[in-house]
Structure 1
């Protein structure tokens, strides 16, 4: 689902269909990508990534073919045929067809499990600029520098968060979420194979286990499963998604269980990406946001 066009001067040029960085990085699934001077700059998998894209052709700077194929093919979900997915969803109804056209370059990233877990604990009752700010502060305070001369830091590992005092965590201005971060990290340190255990379980059992962690409710659990790439049928429901589905499909207020059951039945195996298309479209068009 991608084609390497050239590798020159430690820059890699790759043709990637169905990928628009703005759509992918601004649809609410990640928090450490920013646009600067025409480049998209992100920190993921403990590495700094710089890329630019034009009409489906992307240049990855300071990257060779081996690194790209070992790490970033999976991260950007480049072995999934999004063209076929979009065709299937577009046939469902006019709302989805318009949503797919509007966010045609969205790809579901396969992100680090623990970074997603703590990032979405931070996301509760929060806005994206503030979420990004708290994550950057946490990373600078407890993460490892990307290199010796760098002022950029990777996301902290679980043990760094577990052994940090609540007072030190609170410097990052996460409010009540800092206690959840601390308590969940302490629990995870005692369960070092937690991620492997989650990956070995069916979706229902995996979700139940996630819900045992402090600060993780149904929405955060679904975000962890979806954005870590564990379960693409997960359908996270926050107040915005709830309003969008109510506005487009029910025309009345509806409870979350009814929405979740509807998504499972109607969107099926593509529930996760359908949620992203609809949310991105509705947010941009202010549908259900009034």
Structure 2
């Protein structure tokens, strides 16, 4: 087990990865297997759901499923497996999710339809429960790059080596339960170290069983997850969506909060009221809708030089009247909530309020 931790926190609060922490995978000559689709692999793996996958020079992606190395690529909207167990890969990438049925359930309003047009093929992954829970406990007030650096640092310091991979497996909670707060902080976690350690110890002593609670109905499961240190409503919804396949769960982060305000034509509400509205407005696959909305907004922000008015542009077609109404809604949200128009989050489960968002770069 490596004794070093490649992530270091700089004075400006950013986490810098050493060269050793940039994962490289062996290139093995294997027979490629077409697993089906449709899937947009880049959008799926870059949408803030998971944090350790690496895009290789040839366009393929390398990652881990537990302690097994995986290499996949996309060809003609199908997932192609180059290395790894096909049954686990099919399940992880949720190739059985009925995307056309999900798309048919998207709201007809222009923001949802614009996100759908931009993000078709993105799938909600089925993630290992402990790894997903740990990742989102560390996500508070952090961007995707920072969450990734913490994940890689934890793997390097506490995880076991995996054949065919230059990154280690994510350590089980039994291993992290024996760690110390200072050791976790050396991996860039800051105050999150204590929450992750306490959660690992609760799981190790059997207080909560992440597999056993999977049978609980969604509302009760959300409450159970919130018993874990560092898990609030939003992080619990991230875990529900990405680890427990509760596809109606809606994590309300800064982006989604702003979008919901625009949908409500500026009517504010408590977090509980906005959550209830999201479930009513976004439909039975609300989790998918919010992920498409979030990723579309995040990618458009990068390409629009922080011009919020262009974030949810509808393609030039019969939606022209809806486009005008959409722009009016966005202008309202920008003028009434300036913090949202200036600073936006880039992680799936980071800041939860305009005040918190101001701390993000």
Correspondence list, 1:101-180, <5 A: 101-147=117-163, 150-180=165-195
Deviations 1:150-193 (A, max 9, x none): 53201110011100122211210110000101111111111176
Aligned equivalent of 1:82:
99
Scaled by the length of structure 2, what TM-score is found? 0.72
More helix by share: 1
Aligned equivalent of 2:78:
57
* 2:60 corresponds to 1:39: yes
Aligned length: 276
Question: 8 Å contact 2:152–2:167 — kept in the other structure?
Answer: no
Correspondence list, 1:11-22, <5 A: 11-17=32-38, 19-22=39-42
Aligned equivalent of 1:198:
213
Question: 8 Å contact 2:68–2:162 — kept in the other structure?
Answer: yes
Aligned-pair CA distance for 1:53 = 1.1
Q: Secondary structure at the match of 2:203?
A: helix
Distance in 1 separating the partners of 2:50 and 2:139? 11
Deviations 1:70-108 (A, max 9, x none): x1221111112102211221x522221111011102100
Deviations 1:1-37 (A, max 9, x none): xxxxxxx9432123311x1011111111111112120
Question: 8 Å contact 2:136–2:235 — kept in the other structure?
Answer: yes
Cα RMSD after superposing both structures: 1.9
Question: 8 Å contact 2:105–2:285 — kept in the other structure?
Answer: no
* 2:294 corresponds to 1:279: yes
Question: 8 Å contact 1:32–1:44 — kept in the other structure?
Answer: no
Scaled by the length of structure 1, what TM-score is found? 0.89
Aligned equivalent of 1:270:
285
Q: Secondary structure at the match of 1:250?
A: coil
Question: 8 Å contact 2:241–2:249 — kept in the other structure?
Answer: yes
Aligned-pair CA distance for 1:285 = 2.5
Distance 1:230 1:84, change over 3 A: closer
Regions of 4+ moved over 3 Å: 286-289
Higher relative contact order (CA 8 A, sep 6+): 2
Distance 1:20 1:174, change over 3 A: same
Distance in 2 separating the partners of 1:53 and 1:143? 29
Question: 8 Å contact 1:143–1:153 — kept in the other structure?
Answer: yes
Q: Secondary structure at the match of 1:194?
A: coil
Distance in 1 separating the partners of 2:177 and 2:280? 40
Distance 1:247 1:139, change over 3 A: same
